[in-house]
Amino acid sequence: MSSSSTYNAGLLSSSMGLKVIKITRVNPATDSSRDSADPLILPLTFFDLRWVRSHPTQQVIFYKLPVSSREFFHSVILPKLELSLSLVLRHYFPLAGHLKWNQQDPKPRVVVYSHDTVSLTVAESNADFLFVSGKGLRPQTELRVLVPELSVSCDSSSLYSLQITLFPNQGFCIGLAEHHVLKDGVGSIMFIKAWAHICKSLGEGIMTLPSDFIPILDRTLINVRPSLESKILEYMSYFSDEEDGKRTMDPPPVGEICTDLVRITLELTQENVDKLKERAKRESTRSQHELHLSTFVIVNAYVWSCLVNARGGNKERPLLFMYAADFRNRLDPLVPERYMGNCVVLVNCIGYKGKHLLGRDGFVSAVEILSDSVKGLGSRGIEALWESYIDGMKQVKPDTHVESVSGSTRMGLYQADFAWGKPVNHEIVSIDRYPAYSMWERRDETGGAEIGLCLRKSEMDTFISLFEYGLGKISSRI
């Protein structure tokens, strides 16, 4: 690994004492097959194009350390993290590249030169690690300083950056910012687990990856009709700046982030999910054969209905709920799980109003809505789903209550052990920039889900009350 560093030991965050120790550039380990002045070009597929103007996804992963003095961290832990990062980037080298859009090209593309690098910031915090990394109520500002940003302009964007923050004598965290245009959540978590695998294996003298962690970059695996790409390119308002109409890759403005945001991580156990399923069966007017009662449907129906009630009151307010459907096993031919690119379609549930989810019957109504949507994926092709998505977005009004879910309970992020134990917590920090919550597998138990939320304090208090009351109500009935 080669790197150049700039030091800025005086940079402090306003919310807690965060000092930047250094900013380095990490090169992918040398690979003779990439020793060329010519760049690698990765074309964007239909699935990638939707994310060209997306805001970076920012996540933070916390690790508790039995020994975490400054000396031990900088002499043992950090060198292992940097070396293993360089080694894993040998396989994931597109992360060091850039999204480029030349004037003569009809669409952007990923361009990777052999000298490209990933930015790594090393910082130190004097905050209470147990508090910041916990799952209880915390100010969002405590987490936002732990993640880096991407460099984005109208015609170029970096794709990945990292920040490692030490909490002396407590632990450390890995913050990341990534451009969704390069890969979806499957590829994102696969990279973290691959990096962790190499780092842990360094103690055994192993510097290679098993095949399960080696990404597949071949874009020709995506077999969709060319007309689909044409349709998204025709949807030019998505690629244009609203003021002058010129094409751009800058994310749309989101306004100022509220300063009173708090976040929490809540759990739904497998027992909770099973009891919610029984409630849906008991209270729905539909037969069990008509309902698709997966964990995904049950968990999201419960969270969505609680959010509408926490923020609601207006029965006529339009509702929109969005989720991403993985199409790896729905294309012909099937797309390998190790494919590092986007292979998800956004699905929206629209045409409903607050009155459908307000009150006690809201949960069952949400189950029926999401059940219909998920069951419909089996019979609807990509083209129909894309057209439905566009039609739905055209119906969105300024007062529409929008919610969406990020993450999945099937990705296994808590398996990412860098040699110092599995993570104590994992958060999607960037859900403060759009109306979304996260959904992951539980750290210590199988089944159920972890739900990460970021809301205004007043809304959060109401949400938690509704969330806990609803679960207690079920328990008292069973």
Catalytic sites, residue numbers: 180, 417
CA angle, corner 53, sides to 47 and 56, nearest 5?
A: 95
Residue 5: count other Cβ atoms within 10 Å of its Cβ: 11
Residue 104: count other Cβ atoms within 10 Å of its Cβ: 5
